[in-house]
A and B are shown apart, each in its own frame.
Chain A
Amino acid sequence: MSLRNVGIVYRKELTDSLRDRRTLISMILVPLLLFPVLMVGLSYIAGEVIGEARRQPSRVMVLGGEDSPGVLAALRQAPKLSVLPGRPDYVDQISEKRIRAAVEIPPGFEAALEQGNQTAVKIYMYEGDLKSQVGIERLQKFFRDLSDRTVREHFAARHLPEGLLKPINIAQENVASPEKVWGALFGGMISYMVILLSMTGAMYPAMDLAAGEKERGTIETILCSPVSRTHLVLGKFLMVMTASLATVALSAISLGGSFYGLGRLAVMQADKGPSLQMAISLKSIAAVLTLVLPLAVFFSSALLAISLFAKSYREAQSYLTPLTFVVIIPAVVAMLPGTELNAKLALVPILNTALVSKEIMTGTYHWKYIAMIFASSCVYAAAALFIAVKLFQREEVLFRA
Chain B
Amino acid sequence: MAEPLIAVRELTKHFRASRRREGLWGGIQDLFVRRYHTVRAVDCISFEVVRGDMVGYIGPNGAGKSTTIKMLTGILVPTSGEVVSNKYVPWRQRTAYVKTIGVVFGQRTQLWWDIAAIESFRLLRRIYDVSQRDFDERMELFNQVLGIGDYLYTPVRKLSLGERMRCDLAAALLHNPPLLFLDEPTIGLDVVAKDHIRKFLRAINERYQTTVLLTTHDLDDIEQLCRRIMIIDHGRLLYDGPLGLLKQKLLRTKMVKFALRDSEQAARVRALAPELARQSLELEPVDELTYRIRFDRTSVSTSALIQQILSAVEVRDLLIEDEPIEEIVKRIYAGEALREVTA
A: residues with CB less than 8 A from B are: 5, 8, 12, 15-16, 19-20, 216-218, 220-228, 395-396, 399, 401
Contacts and interface: CB of A to CB of B under 8 A. Distances in A.
Nearest to A221: B110
Contact of B114 (A20, A217, A395): A20
Nearest to B69: A220
Q: Is the interface of A mostly helix, strand, loop or mixed?
A: helix
A401 B98 CA distance: 25
Contact of B115 (A16, A220, A221, A226): A16
B119 A401 contact: no
Given A226-B95, A228-B95, A19 B115 contact: yes
Contact of A222 (B16, B110, B119, B128): B110
Interface string B57-73: 00000000000001001
20 contacts: A12-B123, A15-B119, A16-B113, A20-B114, A217-B105, A218-B110, A220-B70, A221-B109, A221-B110, A223-B74, A223-B75, A224-B75, A224-B98, A225-B124, A226-B94, A226-B95, A226-B96, A227-B95, A228-B94, A401-B15
Q: Determine the interface band of chain B, counting residues with CB < 8 A from chain A.
A: 20 to 34
B132 interface: no
B126 interface: yes
Contacts of A223: 74-75
Contact of B127 (A217, A227, A399): A227
A216 B111 CA distance: 12
Interface string B1-41: 00000000000000111000000000000000000000000
B157 to A, nearest CB: 10
Given A19-B114, A217-B108, A221-B103, A226 B127 contact: yes
B251 interface: no
Interface in B122-155: 123-124, 126-128, 155
A223 B128 CA distance: 14
B15 A16 contact: no
A8 B123 contact: yes
Contacts of B113: 16, 216
A25 to B, nearest CB: 14
Nearest to B39: A401
A85 to B, nearest CB: 71
Contacts of A226: 94-96, 98-99, 127-128
B77 interface: yes
From A224, A225, A396, A401, residue with most partner B Cβ within 10 Å: A224
Contacts of B15: 401
A15 B115 contact: yes
Contacts of A224: 73-75, 98, 101, 103, 110
A19 B113 CA distance: 9
B107 interface: yes
A301 B245 CA distance: 55
Contacts of B98: 224-226
A19 B119 CA distance: 12
A20 B77 CA distance: 34
10 shortest A-B CB distances, which residue pairs? A221-B110, A217-B108, A19-B114, A224-B103, A226-B95, A226-B98, A226-B99, A223-B75, A228-B95, A224-B73
Q: Which of A5, A218, A226 has the most CB of B within 10 A?
A: A226
Contacts of A217: 105, 107-108
Given A220-B108, A221-B108, A221-B110, 4 more contacts: A8-B123, A218-B109, A223-B74, A399-B76
A376 to B, nearest CB: 35
A129 B75 CA distance: 67
A222 B113 CA distance: 13
